Homo-oligomer: A and B are copies of this chain.
Amino acid sequence: MNQIITISREFGSGGRELGKRLAETMGLAYYDYEIIKGIADKSGLALTYVNSIVEHHMTEYYPIRVGRSFTVVNKPVTETAVFKAQSELIKELAEKEGGVFIGRCADYILRERRPVRIMVYADLDSRLLRCREKAKSGERLSDEEMRRQIIAVDKRRSRYYEQYTGQKWGVKENFDLCINTSGVKIKEIIPGLVEYKKGLS
């Protein structure tokens, strides 16, 4: 059976890096931004619009491109369409070859396939530090502004997740393994995770 790992992550926790390294080390496919692109293709909605919903969970109404014309769409309807396309796509990819799926409710969408569900989290200071390291050199946000941004992103992720899964976001009971990356070098824990995965039947 295909190996499927889902990674849920707090913003700035290094979950994406963890997923990417895990996929590389285990020789698995890695799905992250590819999912956004696929949903856009599948739903016929504009890439930027799909991105705003799936990646940034934006809730504002604004003009989007549908086919060739710009229009203000009925947000709840298209949001549901996006989630439907997202579910179908994630299921297809899992069916086809498995792999590591970052975010996007994949843990819930693929629940019947019993994926290994990993949650990556860290304290706010560590997440701030990771965001600073990754930020472009021209970044002008103060620590306080960046902290607020981190909290806001997670609030949106949490709302989106709960809306579509009916489950509380980030609760340990919904995961097989929860990893605290505060002060941890992601690269260093990959061998342990690969070994741990082998122990799960």
Contact = CB atoms under 8 A, between A and B. Distances in A.
How many copies of this protein are present in the complex? 2
A123 interface: yes
Interface string A180-201: 1001110011111111111111
Contacts of A189: 196, 199-200
B197 A123 contact: no
A109 interface: no
A177 B180 contact: yes
The main secondary structure of chain A at its interface with chain B is mixed
Contacts of A194: 192
Nearest to A183: B201
Given A173-B123, A178-B177, A192 B201 contact: no
A66 interface: no
For the complex of A and B, the 6 pairs showing the least CB-CB separation, nearest first, are: A192-B196, A178-B178, A188-B199, A189-B199, A192-B195, A195-B195
